[in-house]
Amino acid sequence: MALKEKSNIASPATSAVADPMLDVPPATPVADEGYETVGDYTAAKPVMQARHLDVFYADNHAIQDVNLDIGRNEVIALIGPSGCGKSTFIRCLNRMNDTIESARITGEITLEGENIYGRQMDVVMLRARVGMVFQKPNPFAKSVYDNVAYGPRIHGLARDRTELDEIVQTSLERAGLWTEVKERLEQPGTGLSGGQQQRLCIARTIAVNPDVILMDEPCSALDPIATARIEDLIDELRQKYAIAIVTHSMQQAARVSQRTAYFHLGKLIEVGDTDDIFTNPRHKLTEDYITGRFG
């Protein structure tokens, strides 16, 4: 049952205004210490749920009391200025922060109701179920075929070569890459163009049939044509998967997502339907960011 929307919203901080005589730019506004997220952070069909999540890197409090659902068959865009915690948040969703010695996490994140930080959670299986596509394409130094086949092989998803061939072809088709590489399957994946490499990485992710796909600025290193192809692909993939995308492009967030979450200095300030966030933000910090007053 979805939780009721919180009504006691934080009092928005007032933006500092530059003194034109001194030519000093406005200071970045600061969220209230005791804050509550504006909007409904629950999803209609939640696959992952974060509750009271706090993340520390040594003494740095990077994420502060964040509650947020990742829903099936939808894209949620995480936006906010650099250093606001959006990438840290999605790295928590498949425990990539485990590799950082100074990282400490409190609160709870569940995948289909199971605590992903529980002792019984197999981290290798978790990362198969919650796949990650990074900012820069990172194909393995293997053939196109072996890039996609790698996950199904190590997880035993194919009984024979025929099944593996089918998984590889289906994954490349879903990633919109099959027609471009079907004659080049034995050639190195690193020989593809940047946009093709990113779609190859998406094919590699979906080859193990994940529940969730995380994307950390997947188009930031791509040209506009390659970006458009990735965005079209994201819209197709959401029919089957839950997707969370970190982006610095508000235009991209508006194009590809159904829900948007705005982060600021480690706090989830506002979350809601994408159209509402961009046309009628309820918190002044959200409005200031969207209108370009800071960022």
Please state, as a whole number, how many other Cβ atoms lie within 10 Å of the Cβ of residue 37: 23
Q: What is the DSSP code (8-state) at residue 190?
A: G
pLDDT score, position 294: 73
> Closest Cα to residue 249, out of 220, 224, 275?
220
Query: Which strand (E) or helix (H) includes residue 279?
Result: helix 274-279
CA distance 88 to 250: 19
Helices (H), ranges, 10-95: 86-93
Q: Other C-beta atoms within 10 Å of 51: how many?
A: 15
Q: How many residues are present in the chain?
A: 295
Q: What is the mean pLDDT of residues 263-278?
A: 97
Residue 128: the pLDDT is: 95
pLDDT in tens, 209-266: 999 999 999 999 899 999 999 999 999 999 999 999 999 999 999 999 999 999 999 9
pLDDT digits (tens, 9 = 90+) for 122-170: 999 999 999 999 999 999 999 999 999 999 999 999 999 999 999 999 9
Which value, to the nearest 10 degrees, does the dihedral of the CA atoms of residues 54, 246, 76, 229 take?
A: -160
Q: What is the DSSP letter of 47?
A: E
* Class of residue 241 by CB neighbours under 10 A (exposed 0-12, middle 13-18, buried 19+): buried
**6 band by pLDDT with thresholds 50, 70 and 90:** very low
> Is residue 239 within 8 Å of residue 184, measured between CB atoms?
no
Give CATH for domain 46-290. 3.40.50.300
What pTM was estimated for this model as a whole? 0.86
Q: What angle separates helix 194-206 from helix 161-174, to the nearest 10 degrees?
A: 130
Ranges assigned E (strand) in 100-208? 103-111, 114-115, 130-133
Give per-residue pLDDT as tens, 16-33: 333 433 343 445 565 555
Delimit the domains of the chain by residue range: 46-290
3-state secondary structure of 214: strand
